[in-house]
């Protein structure tokens, strides 16, 4: 069985995770535990994450 791999591009700022999924779907999530949980829900299948960080705001996400 083939597994589907989703690619998530994440721009991390102080308050927001701008998440772009294949086929141009966009999600704005909070840069906190609640937003991280929502991101996990989006990653139902195998996923590759690529992040772009601003300053130190990626540390909590990492």
Measured distance CA(48)–CA(56) in Å, rounded: 22
pLDDT tens series, the chain, 62 aa: 467 778 899 999 999 999 998 776 899 999 999 999 999 998 877 788 888 877 888 888 88
Measured CA to CA in angstroms, residue 58 lies from 4, 6, 13, 28, 36 at distances of 27, 21, 7, 15, 12
* 58 belongs to a structural domain: no
* 60 belongs to a structural domain: no
Query: What domain range is 45 assigned to?
Result: 5-20+31-53
This model's pTM is above 0.85: no
Residue 36 Cα to chain centre, angstroms: 8
* 37 belongs to a structural domain: yes
CA angle 57, 44, 8 (to 5 degrees): 40
* 59 belongs to a structural domain: no
* 12 belongs to a structural domain: yes
Question: How is residue 44 annotated by DSSP?
Answer: -
* 61 belongs to a structural domain: no
Question: How is residue 3 annotated by DSSP?
Answer: P
* 44 belongs to a structural domain: yes
How many domains is the chain partitioned into structurally? 1
């Amino acid at each position: 069985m083939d597994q589907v791999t989703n690619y998530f591009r994440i721009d991390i700022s102080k308050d927001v995770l701008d998440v772009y999924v294949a086929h141009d779907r966009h999600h704005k999530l909070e840069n906190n535990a609640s937003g991280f949980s929502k991101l996990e829900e989006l990653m139902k299948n195998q996923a590759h994450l690529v992040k772009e960080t601003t300053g130190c705001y990626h540390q909590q996400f990492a």
